[in-house]
């Protein structure tokens, strides 16, 4: 069997349950075409549609996409405004398609910073897809990993103050229940497009044991083929979670 086909057959058995993606490179994609940055963001929405449908079809349980970070407010006001508009229109347009694909849509991040109009769109998107039983699509908007952890700490502190929780009971397991994505399996595979090798304040706690995959492909060019490459790389990795490879092999052979 060639390396390629063995990776392909392995990938069927070793499909990540949860994929988390930093969709980066929209601006450079546009610049390469002498287009305004916004054209790259628009093209990025098309790539989102593709990856969502592919993940749904392959049987991935959850897909978390970083759409707007808590640091992205630092961009020029015009770009921020256009991104907000794009999120609003894309949602209005795509929810029907998500329903057709049995996708359940959710958002994580501090949405209180958004306009009332956008906040209700986010809420509607969640409500209109909540009965779906296929892929869970999580979109991170005004999200920051440090915010997530601080927010969890605040919720926990309040419970301690109110006497609902004992300080002794705070451990990793309990802490995680106050974080975003607490009801989903942890991300198994992290993908970042656009060539940068950093986490940029995305899921900090939740990525503790994710397999990391970086590609130079710019987000608007990310398609089924590039997704398959990431999946094939994932399928070839041995996840040891602190154990030795001998232990893992023994367990897999058992």
The kind and range of the H/E element at 176 are helix 172-176
List of residues 6+ apart from 223 with CB closer than 8 A: 47, 50, 51
CB of 65 vs ligand IPE, minimal distance in Å: 8
Binder among 54, 119, 159, 200 for ligand IPE (CB under 6 A): 200
The yes or no reply on residue 69 touching ligand IPE (CB under 6 A) is yes
Q: What are φ and ψ of residue 225, in 5° steps?
A: -65, -45
The yes or no reply on residue 24 touching Mg ion (CB under 5 A) is yes
The yes or no reply on residue 67 touching ligand IPE (CB under 6 A) is yes
Q: Which of 68, 65, 75, 69 lies closest to 37, judged by CA? A: 75
Q: How far apart are CA 17 and CA 61, in angstroms?
A: 5
Count the alpha carbons within 13 Å of 143 in the hemisphere toward its beta carbon.
Answer: 23
Tokens of 177: 């229940």
Is residue 24 flagged as an active site residue? yes
**Residue 220 binds which entry of Mg ion, ligand IPE, none, with Cβ cut-offs from 5 to 8 Å by kind?**
none
Q: Which of 212, 208, 204, 161 lies closest to 180, judged by CA? A: 204
CB of 221 vs ligand IPE, minimal distance in Å: 12
**Residue 26 binds which entry of Mg ion, ligand IPE, none, with Cβ cut-offs from 5 to 8 Å by kind?**
ligand IPE
Piece of the chain touching Mg ion by CB under 5 A; list 17-25, 83-91, 161-169, 172-180: 17-25
Q: Indicate the residue among 32 and 247 with the shorter CB distance to ligand IPE.
A: 32
Q: Which of 25, 78, 19 lies closest to 51, judged by CA? A: 19
The yes or no reply on residue 26 touching ligand IPE (CB under 6 A) is yes
Which residues contact ligand IPE (rule: CB under 6 A)?
22-28, 66-69, 72, 83, 194, 196, 198, 200
Q: Which residues are catalytic?
A: 24, 72
């Amino acid at each position: 069997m060639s390396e390629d086909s063995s990776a392909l057959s392995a990938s069927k058995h070793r499909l990540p349950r949860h994929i988390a993606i930093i969709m980066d490179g929209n601006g450079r994609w546009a610049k390469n075409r002498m287009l305004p940055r916004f054209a790259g963001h628009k093209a990025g929405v098309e790539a989102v549609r593709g990856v969502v449908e592919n993940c749904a079809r392959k049987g991935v349980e959850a897909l978390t996409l970083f759409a707007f970070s808590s640091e992205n407010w630092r961009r020029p006001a015009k770009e921020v405004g256009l991104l907000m508009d794009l999120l609003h229109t894309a949602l209005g347009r795509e929810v029907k398609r998500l329903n057709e694909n049995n996708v359940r849509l959710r958002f994580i991040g501090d949405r209180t910073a958004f306009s009332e109009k956008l906040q209700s769109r986010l809420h509607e998107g969640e409500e209109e897809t909540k009965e779906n039983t296929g892929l869970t699509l999580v979109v991170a908007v005004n999200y920051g990993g440090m915010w997530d952890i601080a927010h969890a700490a605040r919720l926990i502190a309040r419970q301690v103050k109110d006497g609902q929780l004992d300080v002794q009971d705070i451990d990793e397991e309990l802490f995680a229940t106050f974080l975003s994505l607490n009801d989903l399996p942890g991300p198994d595979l992290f993908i970042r497009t656009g060539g940068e090798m950093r986490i940029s304040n995305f899921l900090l706690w939740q990525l503790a044991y994710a397999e990391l995959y970086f590609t130079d492909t710019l987000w608007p060019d990310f398609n089924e083929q590039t997704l398959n490459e990431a999946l094939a790389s994932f399928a070839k990795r041995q996840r040891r979670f602190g154990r030795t490879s001998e232990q893992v092999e023994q367990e897999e052979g058992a």
